[in-house]
Amino acid sequence: MSGGIRFALRRAGAARASLVALAVFAGLSGALVSAAASVDAARVAHSAEEGLASDGSAGVAAVAVGMLALPVALAAVLSAAEVTRSRAGETRLLLARGMRPRRLVTMAVFEAALIATVAGLAGALGAGVFLWMLTAAAAQVVLTATGVAVFVVGTAGAAGLLAGRESPPARGVAVAVAAIIVVAIVTGVATWRLLTFGVDPISFLAPALLLLVVATASTVLALAGLRMLSSAASRSRGLILVTALRRLSRRPGRSASSMIAVAIAVGISVVAASYTSSAVGVGEGPEALRVGADLRVVTIPADVTPSAISAAAGADAAMEGRQLVASMPSTRSERDRVPILALESQQIREVMTAIPGVVDPGEWSERLSRPSSAGQIPALVSQDVADDLGLIEGDSLALDASSPSLTADLVVAGVVPVIPGTPGSRGFLVDLARLAVVSGERVEPNQLWIAADDPGASAALIEREYPQVVVLAPDPAVAADRVAQGSILQVSAIGSVLIALTLLVLRGRVSGVEARDAALLSIVGAGRRGATTVVATQNTTALVVGFVAGIIGGAVTAAATVPPAVRWASGDLPAAYPVGIQVDVPALLVLLAVLLVGGLAIAWWVRLPRALARLIREDE
């Protein structure tokens, strides 16, 4: 047993650099995942104290975790590939001397799993305890540490299995480990989403996968462009730039992983900055859409008049209303139940809350007050209902409503994005008085929309005088929570930048084929300084390519995923509600500046082997 332990220690010492890299990545990954989970747990706890639902925030958190999984998985793949590469010669020698492959695999799995587990748990618990002291998320720390332990053990096991094999190709190693990690991530997130929320979980991995695909494709195209540029500059007398371009474009090798890591970090930073700014840009619009005014009183009983409630609230202006339901055929189902909101159109401009680009009370009031043919009343229809029923402005349709039961003919006075104050913000908006006249039925109002200088005080007066009614008011905490949900995305962006810089540092040492190429350059006339400059120029070019690919990938991913993420965080906004793409430029520039300055410093900190001539003699 003691001989086996000594052999294992000598074997670990021989691959000390690669195992240290594995431990560093495992510890950093554990710390980042723990930090992201703890920060989001604190936000969820604060939201619960405010009485806010967290269903939509779970979608944003899942997207952020999927984003963070990209650099973590890349670090795990590169660590496993490095362990395999460093063990290739030793593995062949031991197999030739008669050692069983099973023993090699067992030892590799054990040492890699042990190192990665200890490092991952240390990173997770260290970050978790620190944030727990700040956020008091003790339960989340334990759960996160357990999850990180399972993840790093699986990653380390995969690394150990690959290290025990007989020198597999580097590409096969990367593909195999990437497949294992992707399957593990998809399975874990899918199971969690399915058991917790009962929805399709794969959609929440779409942003991360889209970013990976676009960034990788952009990197490949950039390498093709560098190859063309290298061919065009082949007749130049310059040595440094031409050689660097030729080496990078024809044999990207180790630079490819650095380019992908930088591209992922830049892309995640763009997505995080876009979400934060876009969430701020939405503002109070979703809450104004839900309520429709400063206050909305619903479920008014028959023995209480809306005017009495308005007087009790001391309202500046008030508008009576009634919500009905119409059943009509549509593309959604055979009979779709469509909300009908009847309001006093003359008061809409005074009471209804305006939302720029979405709700224009002045124009709506004018459209509902237009004269129409006898027996018809003008109506505004939401965009989704108009699409379902195939309606355009000027079309007519028969209305068969219930609660109360009545029949009326409508003429479409306009198609608007949404209808405030209705389920799903969809349906029809008509004038209350004209609906009663045309239908010949008495339509008693059961809602009161109120404009007030102090909505909180007015709501308190109404609830004190009439406890049987329900008073709805916009909650400013919803907008703040929507922005706070981007905190986990910001943690993912910071983590991806740290992983990219760590990767650049750990892969900064020149060895193997690159070292022999540098030795050849120095001997044929470039000198040691010239060879160092070639490697630094190659590293700088790879960094620039990663930045360009990351900006392209981040822009495409943000354009495709930020609006849905903002809708999730806002409680499923209608598709017709416009969510613009904005970017928090200062925050983005800070992250990119840290990555760029750090990357350039690492790129020009080239460490060539001391004895370059010995490498040439080894080839001979």
Give me the DSSP letters along 348-366. Answer: HHHHSPPBTTTB-HHHHHH
How much is the average pLDDT of 468-492?
A: 84
Residue 142 pLDDT: 43
Residue 413 pLDDT: 92
Question: Is a pLDDT exceeding 80 seen at residue 548?
Answer: yes
Question: Is a pLDDT exceeding 50 seen at residue 513?
Answer: yes
Asked which of 432-436, 476-480, 530-534 is least confident by mean pLDDT, the reply is 530-534
How much is the average pLDDT of 69-92?
A: 71
Residue 417 pLDDT: 92
Question: Is a pLDDT exceeding 60 seen at residue 150?
Answer: no
- Please state, in angstroms and as integers, the Cα–Cα distance from residue 533 to each residue in 518, 543, 599, following that order: 10, 15, 16
Question: Is a pLDDT exceeding 50 seen at residue 161?
Answer: no
CB atoms within 10 A of CB 328: 16
Residue 384 pLDDT: 87
Residue 552 pLDDT: 93
Question: Is a pLDDT exceeding 50 seen at residue 137?
Answer: no
Asked which of 28-42, 68-82, 219-233, 338-352 is least confident by mean pLDDT, the reply is 28-42
Residue 273 pLDDT: 92
Confidence band, pLDDT 50/70/90 cuts, at residue 505: confident
- Please state, in angstroms and as integers, the Cα–Cα distance from residue 144 to each residue in 107, 122, 355, 366, 464, following that order: 28, 12, 41, 57, 46
Residue 189 pLDDT: 56
In the chain, the largest separation of any two C-alpha atoms, in whole Å, equals: 103
Question: Is a pLDDT exceeding 50 seen at residue 481?
Answer: yes
The 10s digit of each residue's pLDDT in 390-401 is 889 989 888 888
How much is the average pLDDT of 330-346?
A: 75
Mean pLDDT rounded to a whole number for the chain: 75
Interatomic CA distance for residues 119 and 155, integer angstroms:
12
CB atoms within 10 A of CB 251: 13
Confidence band, pLDDT 50/70/90 cuts, at residue 389: confident
Residue 343 pLDDT: 93
Residue 617 pLDDT: 44
DSSP string, 485-534: TTHHHHHHHHHHHHHHHHHHHHT-B--HHHHHHHHHHIIIIIHHHHHHHH
How much is the average pLDDT of 577-599?
A: 89
CA angle, corner 242, sides to 239 and 248, nearest 5? Answer: 125
How much is the average pLDDT of 88-106?
A: 70
Question: Is a pLDDT exceeding 80 seen at residue 458?
Answer: yes
Share of the chain above pLDDT 70, in %: 61
DSSP string, 109-174: HHHHHHHHHHHHHHHHHHHHHHHHHHH--HHHHHHHHHHHHHHHHHHHHHHHHHHTSS---HHHHH
Confidence band, pLDDT 50/70/90 cuts, at residue 168: very low
The domain limits of the chain are 1-200, 204-284+476-620, 291-473
Share of the chain above pLDDT 90, in %: 16
**Cβ-Cβ contacts under 8 Å for 519 (sequence gap 6 or more):** 531, 609, 612, 613, 615, 616
Confidence band, pLDDT 50/70/90 cuts, at residue 109: low
Interatomic CA distance for residues 257 and 508, integer angstroms:
12
The 10s digit of each residue's pLDDT in 262-285 is 999 999 999 999 998 998 888 888
Question: Is a pLDDT exceeding 80 seen at residue 374?
Answer: no
Residues comprising the chain, all counted: 620
Confidence band, pLDDT 50/70/90 cuts, at residue 333: low
| The one-letter amino acid at 19 | L
Q: Which residue has the higher pLDDT, 463 or 228?
A: 463
Q: List residues bridging with 430 in a β-sheet.
A: 342, 379
Q: Which residue has the higher pLDDT, 486 or 419?
A: 419
Confidence band, pLDDT 50/70/90 cuts, at residue 510: low
Residue 58 pLDDT: 58
The 10s digit of each residue's pLDDT in 16-67 is 556 666 667 677 777 777 676 666 666 666 555 555 555 545 567 777 777 8
Question: Is a pLDDT exceeding 90 seen at residue 416?
Answer: yes
Confidence band, pLDDT 50/70/90 cuts, at residue 615: very low
How much is the average pLDDT of 225-247?
A: 67
Residue 593 pLDDT: 93
